[in-house]
Structure 1
Amino acid sequence: MQKRFNFKEVAPSALKAMVGLEMYLSKASISKTAKDLIKIRASQINGCAYCINTHTQDAIKNGETNQRIFLLNAWREAEDIFTEEEKVVLAITEEITLIHQHGLSDETYSTALQFFSETQLADIITAIITINLWNRVVLSTHLLIGQSLA
């Protein structure tokens, strides 16, 4: 697979808008751990090796354990590894990433309201949408591990 084009050169305004979302998320009301879990799990679902590689490294730098990263794809079966709040974040991540199946269910949304404010939910949704955007750009341009988007 060969990189198709330099996204920054072809669509600099689009890249700037995407970076703007990242700037917003850097100050968002959700934890770094939640952001890392969202980025890794959505990237796993989308099969984005570039993003999985990048975000697992970032998560480890932020204090995430190898065990939790290894078990992320099976979080439902990893009983005591993830907190209830993290499980809700992961459920929301899966349902929004796989929106073509049924989207964010009322059940998951109601459960999320037990743990998060509406502002936090907006930030969780924004984080999920943003990583899905990056996954699609990376996969569509055939960006390989070690290459730069810019």
Structure 2
Amino acid sequence: MTTDTSTATPQYAHEHTPRLEWAKLVPDVYKAMITLDAAAKKGLDPLLVELVKIRASQINHCAFCVDMHSKDALAAGETVERIVQLSAWDESRHFYTEQEAAALELTEAVTVLTDGFVPDEVYARAAEHFGEPELARLIALINTINAWNRFAVTTRMVAGHYTPGAFAH
């Protein structure tokens, strides 16, 4: 006799507990990060901002930020398909504009820094699609999301509870 398990509720792993609530412990640092984040993204396309934040967060294995920025991107009008394809964007470039692809390539180069620097050709491609002020903000945005990722990963912030627009970054 077999048992039909098609309606059984899956047993998910237990949710981990955050190590500490860093934003409450150092509110001045948190506020400085909020200010930096707002300044970095000023004037950049909001959907591009979310794509960059999601991609850096994927690379950094920051589940909290992937959750947050995927939800914010969807709320801002981004498509599920483009968010899903983001982890393999280089193989699915047809989902993205040339400007977005250049920004994603720069995001990966700045986030990983495997060669110890951002390759000239990656920087040049980004510079083709962004004026200097925009490029400077994009670089600031990439560095800012990397900092957010490091706070969240280090303190083990928990993914899954974010409501779109709940945080300023």
Q: TM-score, normalised by structure 2?
A: 0.82
CA contact (8 A) 1:33 1:59 kept: yes
**Structure 1 counterpart SS, 2:146:** helix
Larger radius of gyration: 2
Which residue number in structure 2 is paired with residue 20 of structure 1? 35
Q: Structure 1 residues 14, 79: closer, same or farther in 2, change over 3 A?
A: closer
Which residue number in structure 1 is paired with residue 8 of structure 2? none
Consecutive unaligned residues of structure 1, counting only runs of 5 or more, are none
Give the Å deviation of 1:51.
0.6
Give the Å deviation of 1:52.
0.5
Q: Deviations over 1:75-113 (max 9, x none)?
A: 111131111111000000000000243432100111122
CA contact (8 A) 1:95 1:102 kept: no
Residue 39 (structure 1) aligned with residue 53 (structure 2): yes
Which residue number in structure 2 is paired with residue 68 of structure 1? 82
Once the two structures are overlaid, the 10-residue window that deviates more, 103-112 or 59-68, is 103-112
Give the Å deviation of 1:16.
1.1
Residues paired across the two proteins, number = 148
CA contact (8 A) 2:47 2:78 kept: yes
**Structure 2 counterpart SS, 1:29:** coil
Which residue number in structure 2 is paired with residue 3 of structure 1? 18
Which residue number in structure 2 is paired with residue 117 of structure 1? 131
Once the two structures are overlaid, the 10-residue window that deviates more, 53-62 or 140-149, is 140-149
Distance of 1:30 and 1:8 partners within structure 2:
26
Distance of 2:118 and 2:44 partners within structure 1:
18
Give the Å deviation of 1:25.
3.3
Distance of 1:33 and 1:103 partners within structure 2:
27
Residue 85 (structure 1) aligned with residue 99 (structure 2): yes
Q: Could you tell me the percent identity over the aligned residues?
A: 36
